[in-house]
Amino acid sequence: MRADLERWAEALAVEREHGANAGDFIAERVRTLALAGDQAGVVRWLDIATRLDQLLDASAMAH
């Protein structure tokens, strides 16, 4: 469960730091890690992306 909470915290941090560009930032991280052959890193950032999408969807529904 701890890893799940860490991914939520990371998604929040990326959204706060990069705002509307958060998705682009994550896509670049995934691309860089994939090119480096870091599959675990790719999985981690895809998990963060999933949580960011959920955060943004929840935010849009609240407005």
Per-residue pLDDT tens for 16-54?
A: 999 999 999 999 999 999 999 999 999 999 999 999 999
CA–CA gap between residue 27 and residue 16 (Å, rounded)? 16
Spatial contact of 43 and 30, defined as CB atoms under 8 Å apart: no
The residue extents of the domains of the chain are 2-62
CA–CA gap between residue 13 and residue 8 (Å, rounded)? 9
* Contacts with 22 (C-beta within 8 Å, 6 or more apart), sequence order: 14, 15, 52
Q: What is the pLDDT of residue 62?
A: 80
Q: What is the pLDDT of residue 1?
A: 72
Other residues' Cβ atoms within 10 Å of the Cβ of residue 50: 13
